[in-house]
């Protein structure tokens, strides 16, 4: 999904002639702490509720108020993941979208962005979540997919998190699957040397050591 498709048409943009009090009212109405400032269609930055509350005069025009992120925006053809990266880096609540000529196109709400991101990951789909712990050099999504699909289970989405420096065996692969019962998937991955860090499912997941535990209990009862 591209930035142009993420624009929230309900979020207004501010003008330099708008007053501090009016900007605060709009932020309260739309439940955001930031709004984009434009001047005759050109992007001029973001106005923050936190800074506006420090302005003593509500009748002061926004042209006299400090602006944030004047050079921080996304273009219409940038991907959702790029937008999300910018949001995390700068702790933004809204993001301005512009054309290639820096003409303002609209505003992305971070709340809506997160909803779309969740949909991209397939979190709304019914199915289990599996977390594998591995050495980064052992990561092969094609091989893991083959093993998962050998049990008639599909990977809906995946996310690989690299290990911190000096901890090569702490990389994590998070898989969202299309089935709730993943006991056989876990058994297959374990058999091929993959370490299962955690599994989350709405169906019971047998402990991978259950057979050994049962054998021990039978031995103790004899």
Q: Region 22-31: what's the mean pLDDT? A: 95
What pTM was estimated for this model as a whole? 0.68
Please indicate, yes or no, whether residues 97 and 140 belong to a single structural domain of this protein.
no
Please indicate, yes or no, whether residues 166 and 83 belong to a single structural domain of this protein.
no
CA 187, CA 183: separation in Å to the nearest integer?
6
Please indicate, yes or no, whether residues 82 and 136 belong to a single structural domain of this protein.
no
Q: Which domain holds residue 100?
A: 3-118
Q: Region 44-65: what's the mean pLDDT? A: 94
Secondary structure element (H or E) that encloses residue 40, with its range: none
Q: Encoding tokens for residue 201?
A: 């499912």
Predicted pLDDT at 222: 45
Please indicate, yes or no, whether residues 183 and 87 belong to a single structural domain of this protein.
no
- What CATH number is given to the structural domain containing 33? 3.10.580.10
CA 70, CA 46: separation in Å to the nearest integer?
7
CA 194, CA 132: separation in Å to the nearest integer?
7
Please indicate, yes or no, whether residues 153 and 85 belong to a single structural domain of this protein.
no
Please indicate, yes or no, whether residues 72 and 155 belong to a single structural domain of this protein.
no
pLDDT band at residue 157, thresholds of 50, 70 and 90? confident
Please indicate, yes or no, whether residues 151 and 56 belong to a single structural domain of this protein.
no
| Residues forming beta bridges with residue 175, ordered by sequence position | 130, 158
Is 39 a domain residue?
yes
Is 198 a domain residue?
yes
Predicted pLDDT at 212: 44
Q: What angle do CA 32, 124, 154 make, to 5 degrees?
A: 140
User: Please, what sign has the CA dihedral across residues 45, 49, 55, 58?
Assistant: positive
Please indicate, yes or no, whether residues 37 and 98 belong to a single structural domain of this protein.
yes
pLDDT band at residue 127, thresholds of 50, 70 and 90? confident
pLDDT in tens, 184-199: 999 999 999 999 998 8
C-alpha distances in Å from residue 106, one per residue of 14, 46, 103, 109, 135: 11, 12, 9, 10, 43
Please indicate, yes or no, whether residues 7 and 68 belong to a single structural domain of this protein.
yes
- What CATH number is given to the structural domain containing 174? 3.30.2130.10
Q: Please say whether the beta carbons of 90 and 113 come within 8 A.
A: no
Predicted pLDDT at 210: 47
Between these two residues, 167 and 34, which has the higher pLDDT value?
34
pLDDT band at residue 114, thresholds of 50, 70 and 90? confident
| Chain centre distance of CA 102 | 26
CA 36, CA 94: separation in Å to the nearest integer?
8
**Is a pLDDT exceeding 70 seen at residue 159?**
yes
């Amino acid at each position: 999904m591209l930035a142009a498709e993420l624009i929230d048409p309900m979020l207004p943009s501010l003008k330099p002639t708008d007053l501090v009090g009016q900007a605060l009212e709009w932020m309260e109405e739309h439940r955001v702490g930031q709004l984009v400032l434009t001047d005759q269609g050109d992007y001029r930055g973001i106005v923050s509720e936190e800074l506006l509350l420090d302005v003593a005069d509500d009748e002061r025009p926004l042209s006299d108020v400090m602006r944030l992120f004047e050079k921080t925006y996304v273009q219409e053809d940038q991907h959702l993941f790029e937008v999300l990266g910018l949001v995390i880096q700068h702790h933004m609540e809204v993001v301005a979208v512009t054309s290639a000529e820096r003409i303002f196109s609209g505003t992305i709400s971070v709340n809506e962005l997160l909803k779309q991101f969740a949909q991209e990951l397939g979190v709304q789909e019914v199915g289990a979540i599996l977390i594998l712990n591995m050495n980064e050099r052992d990561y092969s999504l094609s091989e893991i997919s083959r093993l998962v699909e050998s049990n008639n289970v599909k990977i809906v989405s995946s996310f690989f998190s690299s290990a911190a420096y000096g901890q090569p065996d702490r990389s994590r692969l998070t898989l969202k699957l299309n089935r709730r019962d993943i006991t056989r998937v876990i058994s297959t991955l374990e058999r091929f040397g993959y370490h299962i860090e955690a599994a989350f499912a709405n169906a019971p997941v047998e402990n991978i050591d259950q057979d050994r535990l049962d054998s021990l209990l039978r031995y103790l009862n004899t």
